[in-house]
Amino acid sequence: MFVLNLVTPEKKLVTELEVDEVIVPAHKGQLDILPGHAPLMTTLATGILKYRAKGGTELQTVVVSWGYCEVHPDGVVILAEIAESLEEIDHERAQAQVKKAKQALLDPLLESDQIEMFQHKLERAQARLEALGAQEKDTLH
């Protein structure tokens, strides 16, 4: 049995779900995890996490922002700072967040920590929009 657990400090999105595949936005690139994968621990990047329930044909999509991924013989544990299912994402709000972050980054007086904060907000909003746009492409035929 190969299971996925996906949690944030506020909620449990996925608990003990048997999966055939998990695709993780790792800090050093996308990581495709299948049953039998070598054990590892890595940090998450802001991006799109996808998983396929055991025997399923559709990839489920979650936007994650920072955290950790641990792969062990029995499955995958994702501890994310933020994780949002597609149902939780508001398209118009995400578009507004992209616009606001881009506008803020044009300010030449921003300190380096402010630049980092707005870049992170921009990445998160762009990942939300990407996830909403990609949801129809993830069904196996």
Structure-block tokens of residue 68: 């950790």
Instruction: Specify the pTM.
Output: 0.80
Q: What is the mean pLDDT of residues 108-125?
A: 88
Verify that 101 and 79 share a domain, yes or no: no
Name the percent of the chain in helix, strand, coil, to the closest 5.
30, 45, 25
* CATH number of the domain that residue 55 is part of: 2.60.15.10
Which range marks the domain in which residue 117 is found? 89-134
Give domain status of residue 62, yes or no.
yes
Q: Give me the percent of the chain exceeding a pLDDT of 90.
A: 63
> Which tens digit of pLDDT belongs to each residue from 48-92?
999 999 999 999 999 999 999 999 999 999 999 999 998 888 888
Cα separation, 2 vs 36, whole angstroms: 8
Verify that 98 and 125 share a domain, yes or no: yes
Cβ neighbours around 121 below 10 Å, total:
19
pLDDT for 123 equals 87
Cα separation, 94 vs 110, whole angstroms: 23
